[in-house]
Amino acid sequence: MDAADIAVLKQAHAWAVAGHDAALVTVAATWGSSPRPPGSLMAIRADGLVAGSVSGGCIEDDLIAGVHTDGLDGLFDGRPAFAVRYGIDADTAHRFGLPCGGTLELVLERVGPGTRLAELLDSLQGRGLVARELHVPSGRVTLGEAGSFRPVALHGEMLTMVFGPRYRLLVIGAGQLSAYLCQVALGLGFDITVCDPRDEYTQSWDVPGVTMVHSMPDDVVQAMQPDCNTAVIALTHDPKLDDLALLEALQSPAFYVAAIGSRSNNARRRERLMLHFGLDSEQLDRLHGPAGLYIGSKTPPEIALSILAELVAAKNGVLRSVAGLPVQEAKIAIAA
């Protein structure tokens, strides 16, 4: 899930601990165009203060107005939780600014001991996946381990949502560029591992929230068993560290595999991977190299931004949507 949504959970819990009456709002489902995806969270306090977002601001304004008019007691009318839809018809969609007649279904629940936010947040400290089920009519919440990430779902009276890192990112190399890249990727909700066997780089590494390992990168890739929610980025410029890891990653379902370097260096890398390690042209077409979208970047922070922009484009299916084009041509098509 998005790190910003975890921040909403923390804020809702902090308000409750401080004695404030508050509610948690979840986007349970959407139809048509919608400002925020299912699973987005917002917390609203009894005085109208909010954290997070479920739309571009229009739905938030309506909920705030309702709280100011009726209070949370009036809004909930004795219910521990309830579902509500916005944008069912054209007039409602126009009123709340939902694009193209889009519809949002929200679930609102009163925050209290039964919400089990403290237990949920404690469980998330272990970086695992936690399934939270809310029985809407009773407000009863159950928590359990989730073997894999799955989308939020409202089936009948039960709202189910999996919390925790949906996407994993393996960064090879613990240099300055890696630090900038990881700092932003944390905010994007990635569970990040940095791999570098070189002590001269890892001893000065200091990015809280990132797991550091000192094994050889190809061993780490094999141990991670990359799936379709995994990205691998090689940032060392050292073929002894990068090549074997890229070899493993390009033979996996990882949605994004990239390496930095000049175009000539990347051409030589592709040649090595094909001639010495037997990768075919289809596998090599999956390699993003040079890594990143072209934004004229020169400094490490700018290069990190360009790489993350490309990574997010791949995650959201933008690069894959340019049918039939190799990666580099797809980048040019998107930029145009």
Please give the pLDDT value at position 74. Answer: 93
Please give the pLDDT value at position 126. Answer: 72
The type of residue at 224 is: M
b/e per residue 80-112 (b: at least 16 CB within 10 A): bbbeeebbeeeeebeebebeeebbbbbbbbbbe
Q: Is the pLDDT of residue 118 over 70?
A: yes
Look at strands 190-195 and 167-172 and give their pairing.
Answer: parallel
Query: Tens digits of per-residue pLDDT, 32-48?
Result: 777 788 999 999 999 99
Query: Tens digits of per-residue pLDDT, 297-329?
Result: 999 999 999 999 999 999 988 864 433 444 444
For the chain, give every domain's residue range: 3-163, 167-335
Please give the pLDDT value at position 129. Answer: 84
- As a whole-number percent, the residues of the chain with pLDDT over 90 amount to 61
**Distances in Å between the alpha carbon of 152 and those of 29, 41, 203, 282, 290?**
8, 11, 40, 34, 36
Query: Tens digits of per-residue pLDDT, 171-184?
Result: 999 999 999 999 99
> Span 201-213, mean pLDDT?
89
- Report yes or no: 145 and 208 within 8 Å, Cβ to Cβ: no
Tell how far CA 310 is from the center of its chain. 14
Please give the pLDDT value at position 148. Answer: 76
- As a whole-number percent, the residues of the chain with pLDDT over 70 amount to 89
334 — pLDDT class (breaks 50, 70, 90): very low
- H helices then E strands: how many in the chain? 12, 15
> 103, 105, 130: which is closest to 9 by C-alpha?
130
Q: Which residue has the higher pLDDT, 119 or 127?
A: 119
Residues 6+ apart with CB under 8 A from 47: 20, 67
How is the beta sheet containing 211-213 ordered, strand by strand? 211-213, 190-195, 167-172, 230-234, 256-259, 287-288
Q: What is the value of pTM for the model shown?
A: 0.68
Q: Is the pLDDT of residue 100 over 80?
A: no
Tokens 């033979």 belong to residue: 251
> Span 270-280, mean pLDDT?
88
Q: Is the pLDDT of residue 91 over 90?
A: no
Q: Is the pLDDT of residue 190 over 70?
A: yes
Let me know the angle formed at the C-alpha of 168 by 162 and 171, rounded to the nearest 5 degrees.
160
- Report yes or no: 269 and 207 within 8 Å, Cβ to Cβ: no
> Any idea which fold 167-335 has?
Rossmann fold (3.40.50)
> 285, 232, 284: which is closest to 260 by C-alpha?
232
> Span 212-219, mean pLDDT?
94
Q: Is the pLDDT of residue 89 over 60?
A: no
- Report yes or no: 212 and 173 within 8 Å, Cβ to Cβ: no
**Per-chain mean pLDDT for the chain:** 87
